[in-house]
């Protein structure tokens, strides 16, 4: 009886052992097949087609690592020399226009691994005091970069300041110039809104937009009002064309950059002779902010400052109509000169 029980126990143990070994072999085979089926890097599949994640990682290497330390002033001269870093004069400048989206354009272009931006507006060419300090002072205001990278700065006051075209021409007659524009009336109201907010922060009063934009004596558009003058794009562009051919300008649609930024950025890449690197991966819509934000890599995202996208005050519709009628012939000439047409009323 005891012998039979021992034999039965050995039989059960054999069956259980066989099942365990079979299960182990199955798991080994399964894991091996999965390894063959899955990409070498398991996270590749999160970012869409291969290549879209490569640019942000290079941008991280170039701009969030070593270059960031140099910008903070933490590098020695020996480190700068070893890494072959230089402070280059800009090869492209965003010259305007104010409240057209210059900051958004600069930050978005900074997504490209071959672009390095000057963080602050330098105001070298439009400020007599700064300009008197000389070109080397200007160069030292530029960020450290690798020789193959393009340095870009932006100062929207450049577009409307009379002395600037000649000064930039003397620095570099072949420089590439970026102008970002919005519908002129909307831009003028946005300009007013920014000034109004500054007055309110200082508890100061300010005229309504209608009173500034319309001459009370003639009831016509007040061309002495700076916000109106800035929106007459063709008048300013004609001054620039005395020094630079139209081929050295690229016009960016500021309204489209808000709603559909990627196509506009791809046009700029082409204008700057940059390989296409900015992709939809780098841009995501923030529903809370109502704007596109920037994605440099898997961990680093950035949205524009909260001051962007201010709510405009309500403006009398008759004033808006009058302004649009006033800007219309200037807009038509702007289309003709630049070869780019916008759907402005």
Please indicate if the annotation marks 250 as binding a ligand.
no
The C-alpha atoms of residue 316 and residue 332 are separated, in whole angstroms, by: 25
d(CA 58, CA 50): 14
CA 42 to CA 203: how far, in whole Å? 56
Of 71, 56, 60, residue with least CA distance to 145: 71
The DSSP call for residue 76 is: -
For residue 193, give Cα distances in angstroms to 64, 273, 314, 322: 34, 36, 11, 19
Q: Would the annotation count 302 as a binding residue?
A: no
Residue 26 annotated as lining a ligand binding site:
no
Please check if 232 is assigned to a binding site.
no
Whether residue 292 is annotated as binding a ligand: the answer is: yes
Q: Residue 169 burial (CB < 10 Å; 0-12/13-18/19+)?
A: middle
**Residue 287, both tokens:** 């529903």
* Separation between Cα atoms, residue 122 and residue 194, nearest integer Å: 20
- Determine if residue 45 is labeled as part of a ligand binding site: no
155 is an annotated ligand-binding site residue: no
Characterise 9 by phi-psi region: left (phi > 0), alpha (psi -120 to 50), beta (else).
alpha
Annotated ligand binding at 100? The verdict is yes
- Cross-strand pairs, 175: none
Decide: 117 and 106 in contact? Cβ < 8 Å: yes
- 170 annotated active-site: no
Helix 317-338 and helix 184-201, axial crossing angle in degrees, nearest 10: 120
| Active-site choice (99, 117, 154, 322) | 99
235 is in an annotated binding site: no
Q: In the chain, at which residue ranges do the beta strands (DSSP E only) sit?
A: 86-87, 92-96, 115-117, 144-145, 150-154, 176-181, 249-253, 283-286, 291-295, 301-302
Do the annotations mark residue 201 as ligand-binding? no
**Residue 310 annotated as lining a ligand binding site:** yes
Burial of 153 per CB tally in 10 Å (0-12, 13-18, 19+): buried
* Residue numbers belonging to the annotated binding site: 99-103, 182, 190, 292, 308-312
* Residue numbers belonging to the annotated binding site for 3'-phosphoadenylyl sulfate: 99-103, 182, 190, 292, 308-312
Catalytic residues: 99
């Amino acid at each position: 009886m005891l012998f039979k029980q021992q034999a039965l126990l050995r039989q059960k143990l054999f069956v259980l052992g066989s099942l365990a070994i079979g299960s182990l072999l199955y798991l080994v085979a399964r894991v091996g097949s999965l390894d063959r089926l899955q990409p070498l890097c398991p996270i590749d599949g999160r970012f869409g087609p291969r290549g879209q994640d490569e640019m942000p990682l290079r941008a991280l290497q170039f701009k969030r690592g070593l270059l960031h330390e140099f910008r903070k002033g933490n590098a020695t001269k020996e480190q700068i020399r070893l890494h072959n870093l230089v402070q280059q004069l800009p090869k492209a400048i965003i010259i305007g226009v104010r409240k057209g989206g210059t900051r958004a354009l600069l930050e978005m272009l900074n997504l490209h691994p071959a672009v390095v931006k000057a963080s602050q507006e330098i105001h070298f060419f439009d400020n007599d005091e700064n300009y008197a300090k000389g070109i080397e002072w200007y160069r030292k205001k530029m960020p450290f970069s690798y020789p193959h990278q393009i340095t870009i700065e932006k100062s929207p006051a450049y577009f409307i300041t009379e002395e600037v075209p000649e000064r930039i021409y003397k620095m570099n007659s072949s420089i590439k110039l970026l102008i970002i524009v919005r519908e002129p009336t909307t831009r003028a109201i946005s300009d007013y809104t920014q000034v109004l907010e500054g007055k309110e922060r200082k508890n100061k009063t300010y005229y309504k937009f209608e009173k500034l934009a319309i001459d009370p004596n003639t009831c016509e558009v007040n061309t002495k009002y700076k916000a109106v003058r800035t929106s007459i794009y063709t008048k300013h562009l004609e001054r620039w064309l005395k020094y630079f051919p139209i081929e050295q300008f690229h016009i960016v649609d500021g309204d489209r950059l808000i709603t559909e930024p990627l196509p506009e950025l791809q046009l700029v890449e082409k204008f700057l002779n940059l390989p296409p690197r900015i992709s939809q991966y780098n841009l995501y819509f923030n529903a809370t902010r109502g704007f596109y934000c920037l994605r440099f890599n898997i961990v680093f995202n950035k949205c524009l400052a909260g001051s962007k996208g201010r709510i405009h005050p309500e403006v009398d519709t008759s004033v808006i109509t009058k302004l649009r009628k006033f800007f219309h012939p200037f807009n038509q000439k702007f289309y003709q000169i630049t070869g780019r047409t916008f759907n402005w009323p």
